[in-house]
Amino acid sequence: MVEKTVGQIVRERAAMHPTTEAYVYPERDIRKTYKEFDEETDRLAKAFMGIGIAKGEHIAIWSDNKREWLLSQFATGKMGGVLVTVNTSYQSAELEYLLKQSDATTLILGEEFKGTSYIDIINEVCPELKTAEKGAVSSGKLPHFKRVIVMGENQFPGIYTWSEFEAFADRVDDDQLEERFVSMEPDDVINIQYTSGTTGFPKGVMLTHRNVVNNGKLIGDTMNLSELDRLCIPVPFFHCFGCVLGTMAAVTHSTTMVIAEQFDPKRVLQMVQDEKCTGLHGVPTMFIAELNHPDFASFDTSTLRTGIMAGSPCPIEVMKKVINDMGASEITIAYGQTESSPVITQTRADDDIEKRVSTVGKPHAEVEVKIVDPVTGEQVPTGVPGELCTRGYHVMKGYYKNEEATRNAIDEDGWLHTGDIAVEDEDGYIAITGRIKDMVIRGGENIYPREIEEFLYQHLSIQDVQVVGVPDPKYGEELMAWVILKEGQQLSAEELREYCRGKISRHKIPRYIEFTKEYPMTASGKIQKFKLREMSAERTEKTEV
């Protein structure tokens, strides 16, 4: 266990590898060494202090993977501000909820994202901004809210430009920064991440220096990262995948971060080639988009060694292609959730291919895992599915201002209940077979959609497939498969059912099959199965009529 703050890690790495590149933005032609990164984040930490942000104060940040986001993450780690990460796809009601629930005093934002004006949205949420003096916002709806900073130099009423904000650093000297720096403890909250809120309102997960520093370190250890590695990070920073599995895993190992502001499969392949990346992160849909890009074969990805595929279940066939076609022979699977900082288990670089494609690996060091019967709470034997629970340094401090939800998630013995169904094999490897909510019960038979998805992925015409349960008057639930076909391929529902017959049990063959071009997704690239279930129920109701 590392008992250090985020800021201490940056300083340690800058001292050890001052000339190693810390980060590269190929699209912006920006390259900075670890020494420069340390100096930049010191100056920005002073700016946060100079503008009046106290230790423990909440700073919301809302943009794609801009350099200002990266620097803010590590600068707040030096002066004790709590970074509240905002989903890039949020609209006005969601932003208002987050700013209010988190008690944020400050919002740092990009001007826009994919054609949506963030400036217009914050003006809608806080109309007082247009007439406010910069840094002195007074909002009826947001009693704690004081200031807005834009990542850029365009002037907007009531909003600091980035250079105006940075100039506040001149008000703070080295001794004042040092006093703040040494006042922080590893157990202090440094980050609040809002869960995507697939049920009810999003909850603010409070993560500490100890949570994210150690999780990042153990992730990088498992990948064998070092100062010789160059990790391509196209996953969003606002999600733990970006800011723990990505930036924190890299910085704890002096690894170079090669950053894409937004995901684009061709751009990522270009970065991997031009920057000679040794690692690449992505959710399965990203890897699928890269592998299926018409120009894929023209890119040289031979420098790839490692990376992480995570965020949602990783199809076995996709994993094999990443190893064989991309050359990432040591690619790992990581599993966890925001509430566990986030990684609980991970496959190892030297695990055989079977373990790496059929399990999510073993628990990290310092992490306890048990699998229990969701009804009785009793531990189940090896090979029997149950709910995965975990305990250790990585469990969140709790949900911000939500003690009831915290008690529901973490029991009195400190076990975090994940809501995921898992099976442990005799070697200690864990397979995730679904969410408790995803499990389909058809005529008394428990069916795990993941198993059927893995089978259907093997069909040569199928690019992606998702299976969900839909209500049925006779069996309680029936199966529905949503299929994305590969470019130029044709397949009928009946042909797909015929493919299943004799290979999987009759009750596992989807009764309903729909072909689609895309799935409802979160901004972090996860497929929203709850929306697929809603769409499926609507379709089947119409069919029944």
**275: how many CB neighbours lie within 10 A of its CB?**
18
Q: Please report, for residues 466, 529, 533, 539, the alpha-carbon distance to residue 520 in angstroms, rounded to integers and kept in the order given.
A: 11, 8, 11, 15
Reported as a single tens digit per residue, the pLDDT across 434-461 is: 777 787 878 767 787 888 998 899 999 9
Q: Three-class SS string for 61-72?
A: EECCCCHHHHHH
- Radius of gyration, alpha carbons of the chain: 24
E strand or H helix that includes residue 109: strand 106-109
**Phi/psi at 268 (5° precision):** -65, -45
Q: Which two tokens stand for residue 88?
A: 């890039």
**Phi/psi at 285 (5° precision):** -60, -30
CA 410, CA 403: separation in Å to the nearest integer?
Answer: 10
Spell out the domains of the chain, with CATH numbers in brackets.
Answer: 35-204 (3.40.50.980), 440-544 (3.30.300.30)
Partners of residue 398 on adjacent β-strands: 206
User: Which portions of the chain are predicted below pLDDT 70?
Assistant: 196-200, 444, 543-545
**Cis before residue 342, ω within 30 degrees of 0?**
yes
Per-residue exposure over 151-188, b if at least 16 CB sit within 10 Å of its own CB, e if not: bbeeebebbbbbebbbebbeebeeeebeebbeebebeb
Model pLDDT, residue 326: 98
**Phi/psi at 532 (5° precision):** -60, -40
Model pLDDT, residue 198: 44
Model pLDDT, residue 335: 94
Residue identified by tokens 């009046």 is 52
Q: Are 491 and 536 in contact (CB under 8 A)?
A: no
Model pLDDT, residue 545: 37
What does 251-297 look like in DSSP terms, one character per residue? HTTTPEEEE-SS--HHHHHHHHHHTT-SEEEE-HHHHHHHHT-TTGG
Q: What angle do CA 430, 433, 437 make, to 5 degrees?
A: 130
Please state the length of the chain.
545
